Amino acid sequence: MSINLDPLQAEQDSYWMAEAIRLAEESLYLTSPNPRVGCVIVHDQQLIGQGSTQQVGHDHAEIQAIKNAIARGNEAALKGATFYVTLEPCSHHGRTPPCVDAIIRHQAARVVIAMLDPNPLVGGRGVDKLQAEGIEVNTGVLAEEALELNTGFIARMLNKRPWVRTKLASSMDGKVALANGESKWITSSTARDDGQHWRARSCLVLTGIGTLQADNPLLNVRAIETPRQPIRAVIDRLFVIDVAATIFNEDPVWVFVEDRVFTAQELEKQRFLEQEKNARIIKMPLALDGVDGQALDLHGIMDYLAINEINEVHLEAGPRLNAGFLNAGLVDEVLLYIAPKIIGPGREVFALSPLEKLSDAKQMVFFEQQAVGVDVRLRARDDKRWQALLTAVSEK
């Protein structure tokens, strides 16, 4: 809920919440599958403690901030302090104890929250528990900025599927490769390095067997430091993946294949990949509306990923799989790098069938434009889905 505040208090709340969001950004590559959360504790407009969520099973942001305040010699000042938290404090026993109990124990006067937590285990109960103890609560402060850090977590909690970000690199005329398939490199090394950030923040990097066979990519995070590598996954209906593919580097790899009875040779291949290469072979049904029944059920794959706590999917695939996700209504966001090159005839970004009416085009909204070296990075998203998430975390 939003409380009417005087302009000075509202300005101060925005300032300190921005600091909490900055702290949450420090955990961007660390917390999966938990959300990235920052907490700042303030007494008499003086910072007395701060923290951010650590890796799974370790301290949440509020506990880190309390410990930091105590380490600074500010334990007494916790009484009557204001906690600025980017996500509603948890009120349940999960991998760690409830953060709400720690805030109450230290007798906070006020808690300012950017986003409510749609997790069914929380769902406003954190706010209710704080208010029951006489602690003033204000929500929705810089909610959109906080949501940007945790779109996947919020989408998984609300919609029971991850947020899919499709990464594309094209020429000015919308080509991802020459007609003969050559694509290395359309964009600059600066743009390619920038793309590593988006891999690092994802839970899972997904591609198709066509891309794997054509480029033999590793698909891990390079060029930047990260404490955690995302899972890499391949959609390979016929289970033709080469056991010597570069992607099998002993980090986890998931391979989605058609749900059918394997041959003896395929069973041996499965055993080898799972026992020797740290792979997981996952059988999926065919899509009922697939072309000639030849496509895996992408919605089923998304359901599987959500059950396995995957928040953000980073899709780096070819035109056919890109089109499959778009046609299935599963592209939430597009991350597009455009090089100042004109190729002419070549392979399109999405291998789509012709439309009969312009009104049938998939409509997205640009929300970020950034020069990256000689290239341009554009971000667009499904605005209806974004606004639905924002409404859910802003209103109680």
Q: Where is the binding site for NADP(+), in residues?
A: 169, 185, 199, 211, 215, 318-324
Burial 79-101 (b: 16+ CB within 10 A, else e): eebbbbbbbbbbbeeeebebbbe
Q: Which residues define the annotated binding site for substrate?
A: 183, 219, 222, 316
- Residue 62 annotated as catalytic: yes
End-to-end CA distance of the chain: 6
d(CA 160, CA 302): 9
Binding-site residues sit at 60, 90, 99, 169, 183, 185, 199, 211, 215, 219, 222, 316, 318-324
Residue among 313, 326, 335 at smallest CA distance from 206? 313
Helical H runs in the chain?
Answer: 7-25, 61-71, 99-105, 125-132, 143-149, 151-159, 189-201, 209-215, 264-276, 298-307, 319-327, 383-394
| Residue 236: closest CA among 207, 261, 214 | 207
Alpha-carbon torsion angle 185, 190, 195, 196, nearest 10: 110
Catalytic residue among 25, 26, 62, 136: 62
Instruction: Please give the angle made by the CA atoms of 228, 229 and 234, to the nearest 5 degrees.
Output: 155
Task: Tell me the C-alpha distance between 26 and 61, whole Å.
Answer: 11
Cβ within 8 Å of residue 338, ≥6 positions away? 170, 171, 172, 187, 375, 376, 378
Q: Which residues are annotated as a binding site for Zn(2+)?
A: 60, 90, 99
Contact assessment for residue 336 and residue 380, using Cβ atoms and an 8 Å cutoff: yes
Going edge to edge, which strands form the sheet with 82-87?
A: 46-52, 38-43, 82-87, 110-115, 136-139
Residue 18, beta-bridge partner list: none
Contact present, 215 and 192 (Cβ < 8 Å): no
Q: Which residues contact 340 (CB under 8 A, 6 or more apart)?
A: 172, 374, 375
Catalytic residues: 62
